[in-house]
Amino acid sequence: MKQKPTLQSTLKALLYLAPALIILGVFNIYPIIKSFLMSFYTDYDYFKDIVHEYGFDNFMFIFNDSEFWVAMKNTFIFVLGVVPMSILLSLGIAILLNSKIKFRGIFRSIYFLPFVTSVVAVSIVWRWIYHTDYGLFNYFLGLFGVDPIQWLTDPQWAMPALIIMSIWKGLGYNIIIFLAGLQNIDQQYYLAAQMDGARPWKRFLHMTVPMLSPTTFFVSIVAIINSFKVFDEIFALFNGKPGPAYSAQTIVYYIYEKFYNEWEFGIASAAAYILFIIIFIFTLVQLYIGKRRVTY
Amino acid sequence: MQKAALSKGFIYLILILGSALMLLPFIWMVSTSLKSAGEVMRMPPVWIPSDLKWENYAIAWEMAPFARYTLNSLIVTILSTIGELLTTILAAYAFSRIHFYGRDIVFAVLLGTMMVPGEVLLIPNFVTLSNLGWIDQYEALIVPWLASIFSIFLLRQYFLGIPQELSYAAKMDGCSNFRFLWTIMVPLAKPALITIALLKAIGSWNAFLWPLIVTQSKEMRTLPVGLTSFSTEAGTVYELLMAASTMIILPMIILYLILQKYIIEGVSKAGIKG
């Protein structure tokens, strides 16, 4: 029963789509094009909205801006610090949660709790946890004889502080996705393997890990993309500064500073497009590998 | 047998330890929020304050216009959630049930734009809103968020799973398309709609960067933005900071505890479909 599109059905569809399309057109699709053009504005009068000249100056500026490279480096350190650790921990917890134990629901709810809470509020709580003299963290370290660390004021420790908090915040989301992936694995395989006498560790290594690989891959890509966009955590943890001595300045923070504090719209747009290209590459990799791996 | 019990004990041990680590910041937050100034700066840390200072909450609430921030957050969250549900239902219906020219192209373009990070949209949207005179107005906080491609995609998938025969039967009974959508499809799609609404409400309540950029006056700030400025003003008065943080986190935690089944399920479904 395949219907054919007609002029009448198209008009009707437009009526249904109009509210969504107007909003998405104005606030999603137009800005994508606009900020692409903006990144090439080299001589621009913001107040009159007149462009005098187009060119690659913004990109040239960025590539020669040491601050941008610091932001880039910090972002990569952040991604590398958060993603592998978060994947390992959440995979481990998800597997434990997937075994036949009591209070599974309660455990699951607790791990997920940070995900629903405000990043800003939670970062302010962590600021107190990281307090050099009266913070909980240094107190616990002190029990093991570690000298107090200046988590938030020493440029060396600012990034680890940010990473630890971010892992805590994102763990629950990853656990939930892993759990869903684990529950999609057909139990028949395990029964068969058990009958063949495969030990738990073997079953985990040769069955769970490969069968879970599409999920693991999905979780890593989402985690990488989200980590590239870190901002709220930094703003709140360091009280409106990108860490001591710019030690936690990331790409989005760079965009924010150029745009909001310095009103360099062209440069900010160019930096935003560089972020887009990085994310685009990761999305393509995901699509490519996803297609090859999903069928095992 | 003994070995199984041992490993089970090990599993519980790790899970309980992990849960404790997850909960510790929240416990520490609430505990600090009820301490006196002297107890806050005591080492080793005091876990249960000797004298519960509930007035910290009242003081924090009075120190900044938190009533106004809460009202703003409520208005923004409620209106953008309802608005998004409406636009999503209509659009998902068109994409799943009406055959029209260019449907696949329009849908593909929308899906394609999902790859673009929101940060790219920041600057042009700011310019558009200032041209409209909406900066520092509710419109700026709500209107750009009234539609979401991801929600349309999610609901369309759900609508596609509702048998076509239902609509033929309804049509025979003389039910209009529009009525069919609202009286039959929408109730059937309740799980998907609850998911969309909850994820939106959480996202909207916790949103930070956008409200930070488009609000200027104190009166227009939402809770997260208000909290950051409060944290600068309150400086190192941690008992007040923790009281304010608790007040902001609490509504979402209550919502979560009531609806956790839907939220967790929604996230795992939405996550896997990506």
Who wins on pLDDT, A42 or B104? Answer: B104
Structure tokens at B14: 């790790």
Q: How far is B248 from chain A (nearest CA, A)?
A: 7
Q: Is A272 on the interface with B (CB under 8 A)?
A: yes
* E-state strands within chain A: 41-45, 50-54
What is the model's pLDDT at position A194? 75
Structure tokens at A59: 């990109």
Q: Which of residues 131-160 of A touch B (CB under 8 A)?
A: 131, 133-134, 136, 139
Contact between residue A185 and residue A103 where contact means Cβ atoms under 8 Å apart: no
Lowest mean pLDDT: which of A64-68, A147-151, A199-203, A276-280? A199-203
Q: Is B115 on the interface with A (CB under 8 A)?
A: yes
- pLDDT tops 50 at residue A294: no
Contact between residue B118 and residue A41 where contact means Cβ atoms under 8 Å apart: no
What is the model's pLDDT at position B3? 61
Who wins on pLDDT, B115 or A27? Answer: A27
Who wins on pLDDT, B49 or B145? Answer: B145
- pLDDT tops 90 at residue A217: no
What is the model's pLDDT at position A211? 84
What is the model's pLDDT at position B177? 82
Half-sphere exposure of B243 (CA within 13 A, CB side): 27
- pLDDT tops 60 at residue B171: yes
Among B229, B255, B131, B49, CA closest to A34: B131
B172-209 tens-digit pLDDT: 777 788 888 998 899 999 999 999 999 999 999 999 99
- pLDDT tops 60 at residue B255: yes
What is the model's pLDDT at position A291? 66
Q: Is B117 on the interface with A (CB under 8 A)?
A: yes
A166-198 tens-digit pLDDT: 999 999 999 999 998 888 887 777 778 777 777
- pLDDT tops 50 at residue B260: yes
Q: How far is A109 from chain B (nearest CA, A)?
A: 7
- pLDDT tops 60 at residue B72: yes
Q: How far is B180 from chain A (nearest CA, A)?
A: 14
What is the model's pLDDT at position A296? 39
Q: How far is A190 from chain B (nearest CA, A)?
A: 17
Q: Is B17 on the interface with A (CB under 8 A)?
A: no
- pLDDT tops 80 at residue A199: no
Contacts of B231 in chain A (CB under 8 A): 124, 127, 236, 239
Computed over every residue of chain B, the mean pLDDT equals: 90
Q: Is B218 on the interface with A (CB under 8 A)?
A: no
Amino acid at A281: I
What is the model's pLDDT at position B175? 79
What is the model's pLDDT at position A172? 93
- Per-residue pLDDT, averaged over B251-274, amounts to 81
* Model confidence, pTM: 0.91
Q: Which residue of B has its CA nearest to A177?
A: B268
Who wins on pLDDT, A208 or A267? Answer: A267
Q: Which residue of A has its CA nearest to B96?
A: A13
* E-state strands within B79-119: none
> What are residue A30's phi and psi, to 5 degrees?
-55, -50
- pLDDT tops 60 at residue B17: yes
Q: Is A172 on the interface with B (CB under 8 A)?
A: yes
Q: How far is B25 from chain A (nearest CA, A)?
A: 7
Amino acid at A276: F
- Per-residue pLDDT, averaged over A228-232, amounts to 94
B107-124 tens-digit pLDDT: 999 998 988 888 899 999
Contact between residue B197 and residue B191 where contact means Cβ atoms under 8 Å apart: no
What is the model's pLDDT at position A128? 93
Q: What percent of chain A has pLDDT over 90?
A: 66
Q: What distances in angstroms separate CA A120 from CA A165, B138, B206, B243, one per listed residue? A: 12, 21, 8, 14
What is the model's pLDDT at position B274? 41
> What are residue B215's phi and psi, to 5 degrees?
-110, 140
What is the model's pLDDT at position B61? 94
**Chain A interface test: which of B98, B130, B139, B242 (most A C-beta within 10 Å):** B98
Computed over every residue of chain A, the mean pLDDT equals: 89
What is the model's pLDDT at position A212? 86
What is the model's pLDDT at position B46? 83
Q: Is B147 on the interface with A (CB under 8 A)?
A: yes
Q: Which of A35-39, A177-181, A197-201, B83-87 has the highest mean pLDDT?
A: B83-87
Dist. CA B226–CA A238, nearest whole Å = 16
- pLDDT tops 70 at residue B4: no
Number of A to B CB contacts under 8 A, please give it.
Answer: 286
What is the model's pLDDT at position A130? 95
Q: Which of residues 53-112 of B touch A (CB under 8 A)?
A: 86-88, 90-91, 93-95, 98-103, 106, 109-110
Contact A129 B202 (CB under 8 A): no
Who wins on pLDDT, A203 or A88? Answer: A88
Q: Which residue of B has its CA nearest to A94?
A: B15
- pLDDT tops 70 at residue B160: yes
What is the model's pLDDT at position B176? 82
Q: What ipTM was estimated for this complex?
A: 0.90
- Per-residue pLDDT, averaged over A116-122, amounts to 94
Q: Is A283 on the interface with B (CB under 8 A)?
A: yes
Contacts of A269 in chain B (CB under 8 A): 120, 123
Q: What percent of chain B has pLDDT over 70?
A: 96
Among candidates B19, B118, B208 on the partner chain, residue whose Cβ is nearest the Cβ of A107: B19
Q: Is B242 on the interface with A (CB under 8 A)?
A: yes
Dist. CA B198–CA B177, nearest whole Å = 27
Among candidates A29, A111, A283 on the partner chain, residue whose Cβ is nearest the Cβ of B113: A29
- Per-residue pLDDT, averaged over A147-154, amounts to 93
Distance of CA A250 to the CA centre of its chain: 13
